[in-house]
Each structure stands twice: as structure tokens, then as C-alpha cells.
Chains A and B, each alone.
Chain A
Amino acid sequence: MTGGCGGRYSVGEPIADAKAPAGPIEARWDARRFGVRLVSPANRRKLSVIIIGTGLAGASAAATLGEAGYHVRSFCYQDSPRRAHSIAAQGGINAAKDYRNDNDSVHRLFYDTVKGGDFRSRESNVYRLAQVSGAIIDQCVAQGVPFAREYGGLLDNRSFGGVQVSRTFYARGQTGQQLLLGAYQALERQVAAGTVQVYSRHEMLDLVVVDGRARGVVVRDLRTGEIETHVADAVVLASGGYGNVFFLSTNAMGCNVTATWRAHRRGALFANPCFTQIHPTCIPVSGPHQSKLTLMSESLRNDGRIWVPARAGDDRDPRAIPEAERDYYLERGYPSFGNLVPRDVASRAAKKVCGEGRGVGPTGLGVYLDFAAAIQRLGRPTIADRYGNLFEMYEQITGEDPYQVPMRIYPAAHYTMGGLWVDYDLQATIPGLFVIGEANFSDHGANRLGASALMQGLADGYFVLPATISDYLAAGPFSPVEATHPAVQETEAAVRTRIDTLLSVNGTRTVDSFHKELGSIVWDHCGMERTAEGLEKAIAMVRELKAEYWRSVKVSGEDGELNQTLERAGRVADFFELAELMCIDALHREESCGCHFRVESQTGDGEAMRDDSRFDYVAAWAFTAEGGPPVLHREGLTFEHVTPTQRSYT
């Protein structure tokens, strides 16, 4: 083992994905499906699976495995499985149907996704994702998902996120909602059939590992505070991403890292934690009370022009600033792409002009997105037709009318590409633990393309996991685990101790005040731009704040009741630990790629500069001890079907 970054981590053995078959990439998924051991229908009812989370991945997996005949228990912290945060996805879902006859294909979707991820994802996984994408649309249509249609009754498509084909299926601006309701209804159908039991208002607080296998979870019933252990033959985590480490993000308030982080502490490797996507078009923070940020669809950049005043400190009404004194900085800096540069480029540029004192709005952290020229050119009705609902939403939140005054936007944390490491079967490094959807790291590399999150969640849940998990379950049922088993006792005790500790500190600062402070450290130093110096500083600050947290946090109320403060307190405690690993990961990756922009590694024109000779790998981290240096296991990436190139948008 050799140390890295001044002893911040050590380096362990490389790991490899042992499950993807060799051979032509088009045939790998078929080959794997033929290779997996099967479980006969009669034996499935003897096998049980726990699924954590009921978003697109979790709900679709629960419905599918229940239908197949397995005994499924599904857990969510919300009051109903229908509320998981997939519901808030707006734009659409990609699929390589080529309904537009525009030369789309499985190979092109694969190519776009690998390239969009800046060559930090696994070719085999991405190819499979593209292969199953079409069947997702078929499945959703059969469930009655009301996708947008043409007058002839066929499905409509639109283009999205800078790709050159129209492959995005959508349901107004509520695609995530409609897809999730489809999966939720399929899930509820299985509840009625008795194959799935749903435990809503239950939060997973730890993973039970017995003889090296994931065998169950410890959950807290959020209504009563009761700690329960559930055991099964396999555990599936579909618990979403960790964007709320930034406190302010577009995630729902309850989104958290606890399920995956606790599994990480029990031995599952955590891959590429520093790969977090910042979305450029969100409504800016209005003050210290801000609890979350709202995304405005990226499509606004098709017609809106982004600018700031040319002179720092110019606080005139934007309408009073003459053309000559405005800086349309994207059009100026990126003449060929202009306002349509990719998400990461647009985000960093906004940060830069605000850093120069040219930001707008009450906090100075905002830029204008101006529709005046578009309204003049196309007329207000056309703009209202294209963006009316977004303009209304903006006005509701800010009290300003974007038809009259330029919108103000600013980047916000949106999605996390990193997550638990999984092999081609979506199995983590703990046998019997599977991770699907945003919770795993598998398909998006260092940057996710628009409309691909929904595709991956449903691909994993409807098609990939149900096919691969049988290979593991075929060896079951595993020996029963009693409540008295030492592993169960130890895990339950650890959960109780942690809750008792949080309640007994009885300090002077609220959970949210810590979370906000943590969020701003991570945002400043491990957000849109990262430097070695800033990350070192952030690690020290996170450690210090974490120590203060355990000394002076105040969690009111009791354990044996609905206690929302206690729920948040546990989640924030895990965000501290994750934040440190994110910073270490960002520090060790001395290259820029996709969302990960190291100031030290950029091209002459300020673009992210990869270093394939040193960093063409997945960084999978092993937990050692709290605050102890993690161990880096590298999974080398090979590109046989897409040649890595340097991005350029000028």
C-alpha cells in the first residue's frame, strides 16, 4: 500500500468488474442473461428481497420482482411510495427508438452517453442501458403513462441536452411524475396481490451483514420510533443520490445518503463520490431562510440570453442598462455554442462573473436570463406557448414577472453521478447487496446527460436487476437469521446508540444550522470548481464542524414518537462523513473531467482537461474507520468502441 495526498488515503488492490462477459459489446447483455442461474417460479416464493426506496428504480424493481413471485418488502421514508423524488423530474426520458428517422440507434445513444460522461463510465454498462431503453418506453406505455403524442396518435419526441437527435419522450413538464406513478401503480397492484409489502414512513439506518452477505436492514418506524430488523435473502438499495450534502440543492428535503453510507461503512465501496452535477438554471437563493432550490428547465436557454452588467457593482434596474453596458458573457466567450454550452460550462461561467462582483439580485449570486429579444422577435404568445408554465412558476417563487423583467438564475446542485460501486450485475462489493438507480455509480461517468436519469432508474429496476439478481438468489434461500443472531444484535445496538447519542448531546445549535454550514463548505470548495488548496481547507473545516456537531447539536423531542428533528440529525451526521470522502476523492483526482473541474487542470481556453494517462479509472473507496484514511481501489476503464477526445465548445 502506498499513501496519497499526504496520507489522506492509501491505495489498495485494483478491482475489476468480473461479471460483464467479453466479446462483442452488442452481445454482452444477451450473454450475461444466458449465463445467469435461474430460479424456477415455484422456488421464487421461498426467496425474499428487501428494497430500500420507491423512486423509479425501487418501485419498478419491487413491482417486477413481486410479479415474478419473489417475496418483496419495500421501504420508504415518505408517507407513500408515490412521493419519492423521481416524481420531480421534468424534462423527459431518452430511448433509442429512432422514431424520428434521424439516424439514432442503440450505438448512438451509447456513444453520446459515454462521451457526455467524459469517458469515465464503463462501456458495457452504458451499452446495455441503451439496449434496454426502448423496452422501457414500451412498458410505460402499456401501463398507461400519458406520454405526449402527435395528432396521428403516435408518440412525440423532442431533442434535449445538446445531442443531435430527437430521442426524448416526455409527458409535458412532468415526465418523472407520470413514470413514477406508472411504477407506483404497478407496485400497488403487487401489494394487492400479496407479493409486496410496503413499509412507508420507515427509514433504513443500517445494513445487517451476516457471514459476509447482506442479509437485512435495521429500520426506524418514523411514526413510533420503533427500531425493527428485517432480514431477507438479498437487499437492494434504491435510495437515490446525495445532492443534499450541499444543503441547498434541487433534491427533495428528505433525500439523504444514509442508506448507502451505512452500507459503505459495512464494507461496500463508494465510487467517484466527487462526481456531482451542478445545474446552471435554478432560481437563485433569496435569503438565509432558503430551504431548497428550484430548477427551471434547461430548455429556457434555447431562447433566453444570459448576461450580467459589464461593470462590477452596477445595481441599476436591468431594463435601464443599455446594450453597450451589458456583457453577454457566454455568447462572447463561446461564439459557436453561445447560451447553449453544456451544463458544467454554463455553471462555471456564472460563478466566475459573480466572483468578479458582477452578479445580480439581492445576494449578488445570480445572472440574468433575458427573454426581451425573444419576445420582440417571436412575440409574447410564442414565448408563452413554449415556456408559460415555467414563467408562472418563476413568478410565483420570486414575485417578478419574467415577461417584463429578466429572470435571475444561478447554478445549484442537482444530481450525483457517484454512488456505491457495483459490478455489471449491479451487485456491490458485499455479496447480496444490489444498488440501483442514482444510488449506484454505474452509467453516467463524470457527467449525466439530460433525460438519462429516468432511463437509468427504470432500466435498472424493470430489466437489469430482475435479470441479474436471480443469479445470486439461485444459491438461496440462505440460512435463517434469528433476531438473536449476534450480527443483528450488534447492528441494532449500534443504531440505538447513535440515536441516544444524538438525543443526549442537548447542545446549543440546531441541526439545520450545521447542515447549512456544511453545505456552504462543500459548495465553496467541492462544487463547481475545486483546487488542492481549497479541498485541503475544506477537509479541515468539515472535520472541525463535525466535531462541533457531536458536541453541541440540539435535537429536541423524544425517540419514541414522530421526531423530524431526530430524522434530520441522523442524515446530517452521515453527510459530514460523506463530505470528507467527496473532498478526498476530488483532491486525489488531479485532472478535470465532466463535472469535476480542477482549476489546476484546464486547457488554454478554460475547459476541463482530462488526464487519461493517470486517471482513466473509477475511484472506488473502502471505509476503514471513522475519520481514518479510506483505501482507494481503482477499476481501470478501457474504451474499445468510443475513442476518448477532448471537449471543446468555443
Chain B
Amino acid sequence: MNITLRVWRQADVHEAGAMVTYDVADVSPDMSFLEALDVLNERLTLTGEDPIAFDHDCREGICGACGVVINGVAHGPQASTTTCQLYLRSFSEGDVVDVEPWRAKPFPVIKDLVVDRGALDRIIAAGGFVSAPTGAAPEANAVLVPKEQADHGFDAAACIGCGACVAACPNGSAMLFAGAKVTHLGMLPQGQPERASRALAMIAQHDDEGFGACTQIGECTAVCPKDIQLDVISRFDRDVLSARIRGAG
């Protein structure tokens, strides 16, 4: 099949970027979207052009490295799917496909489709953990965790930190990302002692990084490749609110 890609090219954070059109002839419906970019890059290299930079690593939908906006939708047209797990059979012969980086103030473009998502690491560093020094752990079965709670915690823990939620949000909010971690740890007994301080530290870091507030639009959950649900944001809000009321911060 043949498709046309219009790709955002930007040399670095200081230069202005622009969409550049590439006809990508003779690709296979069995190719992944990133493999089509590989094919295009091989062709660009041989003609002496600079290949398109894009983040990717595991190519099985779990590392969270990849992610581009495809025809205006983060991770593209298929629900619950990362960019690397999207295949060309989702497109039709002759399609013109726009490919852009995540766009959000806290995600500066490094080059082309590659952005800096370090802000997400800093939100975790602020409080997205249980303080459990190595060696100090009690016997694993000493603390019971009801299966339902463990499963609910797991649903939130499935977040891969790709940042699609931020890219999709009109406010550029990372509340789905941060809420997922607050929910994961908040559902488990191990996460209770630091629950209030965690919520306050993470919301403070979230706001300091320049992410916007949540106005319950829901674009984030619609593009989330791991189906993280909006309730994680409600839980985050509730933890923040109750911590403030109790004066934990």
C-alpha cells in the first residue's frame, strides 16, 4: 500500500518546526506504524536527508517510550493501543496521515517527535512511592490485601507513563498520570502511612512543572493505552482535599 505522512520536523527546542510531507510508497498493511517510519528513515538516510527522530524501545506496548499524535489523536485511531502496537492495516490506501509530537508546555521538544518527559519522573520523585528501605520489609504474607483492592490498585498501576494523557488534555494536565500512582498506592495497606503527604507532594510538583488543572473533560482516559479511568483523578482530588482539611501539609 501507499500512504502519505505529514511529519513534524523540528531541529531542537530553539528552532521553529514545520510539517513536512513524505510519500511513503510500497508499505505493507502488516507493518507497524513505527516500522513504516523505519522504512521512511532508511529511505531518507540513503538520499542524504536527516531521518525523523522518534522515541520507541520495547515495541510491545509496555515501556511507554513511544507516542506521537496521529491525525490529532494521541497514539492514533485505535483505542487502548500504544503507537508501537498500531498497524498500517488501520489505515487505507492513499491516506494522508499527520504525525506530531506530544504538545504540552512541560514537554519541550528535543527534536522532531521526541519530547522531554522528565517532569513525569519528578512527580514520582516528589512522592510516588512507599518508603521501604531495602531489608526492612516484613514477611510478604504478614499484611493481607483483599483481592478486590489489590486488583483495583493494579488497574491504576498499569500506567506506562507515556504522557498521552497530557498530550490529549486541552489543559495539558497530568492528573491522570499522577492520579494513577496515588490510586495504586492508596488502594494498598502499604501505601496508607504516607497517603496524605504523598498526595500533597505530588500535586505541588504537578503544578510546579506547569501542568494544567483537570476540568473533567476526559480526553485523557479516551487516549490512554492502558485504560486508566477518570476515577483515579477523583481519588487524587479527595486525598489532596482531605490532607489539606486535616492539615497534613
A residues bordering B, Cβ < 8 Å? 60, 63-64, 67, 78-83, 85, 87-88, 97, 99, 134-135, 137-144, 146-155, 171-172, 174, 177-178, 181, 184-186, 188-189, 191-192, 198, 200, 223, 252-254, 286-287, 289-292, 294-295, 396-399, 462-463, 466, 508, 510, 512-513, 554, 556-557, 561-562, 564-565
Contacts and interface: CB of A to CB of B under 8 A. Distances in A.
B110 interface: yes
B12 A200 contact: no
Contact of A152 (B121, B130, B144, B188): B144
Contacts of B134: 60, 63-64, 67, 139, 186, 462-463, 466
Q: Can you list the 3 inter-chain pairs with the closest CB atoms, starting with the nearest?
A: A153-B144, A142-B137, A185-B129
23 contacts: A60-B134, A79-B65, A79-B116, A82-B121, A83-B58, A85-B57, A87-B58, A140-B140, A142-B137, A146-B150, A153-B146, A185-B124, A185-B130, A289-B38, A291-B38, A291-B59, A292-B59, A397-B85, A462-B135, A557-B50, A561-B11, A562-B53, A562-B114
B71 interface: no
Contacts of A508: 46
Contact of B124 (A153, A184, A561): A184
B161 A153 contact: no
B137 A141 contact: yes
A67 B124 contact: no
A512 B116 contact: no
A493 to B, nearest CB: 27
A556 B89 contact: no
Nearest to A138: B137
A83 B125 contact: no
Interface in B210-225: none
A396 B81 contact: yes
Interface string B47-59: 0111101011111
Contacts of B139: 138
Contact of B30 (A79, A223, A286): A286
Contact of B147 (A97, A135, A150, A512): A150
Q: How large is the interface on B (under 10, 10 to 19, 20 to 34, 35 or more residues)?
A: 35 or more
Contacts of B38: 289, 291, 512
Contacts of A137: 140
B87 A399 contact: yes
B63 to A, nearest CB: 4
Contacts of B62: 87-88, 174, 177
Interface stretch (B1-9, B93-101, B151-159, B165-173): B151-159
A290 B128 CA distance: 37
A594 to B, nearest CB: 26
Given A79-B55, A144-B185, A185-B130, 16 more contacts: A80-B120, A81-B121, A87-B62, A99-B141, A135-B137, A141-B190, A146-B154, A184-B124, A186-B129, A188-B125, A191-B125, A253-B56, A397-B85, A556-B51, A562-B114, A564-B53
Contact of A198 (B111, B121, B126, B130): B121
A248 B67 CA distance: 22
Q: Which of A64, A134, A139, A143 has the most CB of B within 10 A?
A: A143
Contacts of A99: 141
Contacts of B249: none
Nearest to B88: A289
B132 A153 contact: no
A188 B51 CA distance: 33
B111 A561 contact: yes
Interface of B: 11-12, 27-32, 34-36, 38-39, 41-42, 44-46, 48-51, 53, 55-60, 62-65, 81, 85, 87, 89, 110-111, 114, 116-118, 120-121, 124-126, 128-141, 143-147, 150-151, 153-154, 157-158, 160-161, 184-185, 188, 190-191
A189 B198 CA distance: 11
Given A185-B124, A192-B125, A565-B51, A143 B132 contact: yes
B141 A399 contact: no
A292 B39 CA distance: 14
Q: Which of A64, A151, A254 has the most CB of B within 10 A?
A: A254
A100 B191 CA distance: 27
Contacts of B128: 185, 188
A192 B46 CA distance: 45
B30 A149 contact: no
Contacts, number: 216
Contacts of B143: 141
B124 A188 contact: yes
A174 B191 CA distance: 20
B46 A554 contact: yes
B114 to A, nearest CB: 6
A24 B128 CA distance: 43
Contacts of A466: 134
Contacts of B120: 80
Q: Which of B59, B87, B134, B190 has the most CB of A within 10 A?
A: B134
B150 to A, nearest CB: 5
A88 B85 CA distance: 14
A397 B89 CA distance: 10
A83 B65 contact: yes
Contacts of B49: 556
B124 A174 contact: no
B59 A83 contact: no
A640 to B, nearest CB: 30
A512 B35 CA distance: 12
B136 A291 contact: no
B116 to A, nearest CB: 7
Given A185-B129, A188-B121, A198-B121, A147 B150 contact: yes
Given A64-B134, A88-B62, A80 B184 contact: no
B188 to A, nearest CB: 5
A144 B191 contact: yes
Contacts of B59: 252-253, 291-292, 294
Contact of B60 (A60, A88, A192): A88
B63 A87 contact: yes
A470 B64 CA distance: 35
A565 B45 contact: yes
Contacts of A82: 64, 121, 124, 161
B118 A138 contact: no
Given A64-B134, A139-B137, A289 B31 contact: yes
A154 B28 CA distance: 48
A144 B190 contact: yes
A556 B50 contact: yes
A556 B48 contact: yes
Nearest to B133: A67
Contacts of A151: 147
B181 to A, nearest CB: 8
Q: Which of A63, A171, A253, A254 has the most CB of B within 10 A?
A: A253
Q: Which of A85, A149, A463, A466 has the most CB of B within 10 A?
A: A149
A177 B82 CA distance: 16
Nearest to B61: A393
B36 to A, nearest CB: 8
B129 A143 contact: yes
